[in-house]
Each structure stands twice: as C-alpha cells, then as structure tokens.
Amino acid sequence: MKFSTRLLTKGRVAVLVILAILLIDQAIKIWVKTSMTLHESIHITDWFYIAFIENNGMAFGMQLGSKIILSLFRVVAIGILGYYIWQQVQRQAKTGYIILLSMVLAGAAGNLIDCMFYGLIFNASSPYYLSYFVPFGTGYAPILMGKVVDMFYFPLIESDWPQWVPFVGGDHFIFFSPVFNFADSCISVSVVWLLLFYRKEISTISLSKNPKQSEEQEVKES
C-alpha cells in the first residue's frame, strides 16, 4: 500500500486523468471526423445517436463572441486552472477534488486541441465526402480557428407543443437537443460534482502562493 501510494501521488493521478481523457476524447473525434460525413447520424437507440456536427463555440455548441477571442480565452483559462491544480497538489488537497479539477482542465484542453490543430491537419468536413488528414498547415483553417467536433445526441423526449400553449403551440420540441462530445461531458459532470460535494473548497479558491488555510490542513482522502 505504501509503495502504491508513493507511486500514485496526487500529481501523477492528475496527469493520468488528464492524459486519459485527452486520449479518449481525441480518439472519438478523429474516428467520427474520418469515418462519418458532416451531419451524418448513426442510430443507436431511439434516444441516443452518434451525430457528426462541428461548431465554433463552447460546450454543447453554444456561441460566445468571435472564434479567435474564444480560443484565446480557452488558452488563458486552461493556464490558470493548471496553475490552480498544481497549487492544490502541493497543498495535498482531497484527491477527489484534484481529479474533478483535472477533468475540467482535460475537457477544456480537448476542445482547444480541435480549435488549434484540426484546421491545420484536416480538410474541411462535408456532407458529401469523408474528411482526411492533410499535410500540416494545409487544412481548412489557420491555428486557433479550427472547429470543435461534436457527436453525442440524446433526444430523450420528442413531441409537439399543445396548440393551446402561447407562442409555441404546435411547434416541435426536443429534449435534450444539444449535441456534445466527450470533453463536454467531462466538464459538465465534474462541475456538477464540484458544486455538490466540494463547495467548501470552491468557496476558498485563491491563486495566492501562501493562503493561510490550506497550508496546514492535511485532508484525508474520502
């Protein structure tokens, strides 16, 4: 037990989590991009599809300002979060807390990889042909301007609004309609768990090098 504890330090656990998520995320995205045409959909069940889309925005296809600003924001956010995780490792924070933070970082980094490199190494996606690797720098977009690949679609409820409902009566609606990727799901799941189980840690977030509380406190792993 002592050997395994020394081998799997909190820092190494964080690195392993980040690498594992990045590998899974990129493997799925590359398979989808090179095996499916744009907007192609594979029926798994009535409530789950693999649907290939691309977006310029944030998680679940949301948009926020220009593409270059969003990409630069991701770079800065990942750097800050990486520094904060390093702080928590040095302070021997709870392993669960470090793992969840690492999941957020890995998810953000996974989508950043799409933005940074996919436009450089792939041709443009199309409904009519499969995408493929191209010589570096000859792809469909410059660095930081690539599109994020999404594929998980869960239309759990699909119906029409009753005619008597104001404004939307008779319209078709789908719950849950966003299409997302593995990186998005890692971010969402980890944020929910952080809010549910680590509110105390979140409330004391600081990038200060010498916070008063965390230094002396050695928290046991749950």
Catalytic residue from among 25, 46, 114, 150? 150
- Please report which residue ranges of the chain form alpha helices under DSSP H: 2-7, 10-35, 67-90, 95-113, 119-121, 182-197, 199-203
Residue 111 main-chain phi, psi, to 5 deg: -70, -30
Q: Is residue 114 annotated as a catalytic residue, yes or no? A: no
CA distance 58 to 73: 11
Q: Residue 203: what residue type?
A: S
Residue 144 falls in which region: left (phi positive, over 0), alpha (psi -120 to 50) or beta? left
Is-cis flag, bond preceding 48, omega within 30? no
Beta bridge partners of 122: 133
CA 150 to chain centre: 10
CA nearest to 33, candidates 49, 53, 48, 59: 53
H/E run at residue 175? strand 172-175
Place of tokens 């200060």: 208
Q: Is residue 171 annotated as a catalytic residue, yes or no? A: no
Catalytic residue from among 46, 160, 171, 184? 184
The three-state secondary structure class of 56 is: coil
Catalytic residue IDs: 150, 184
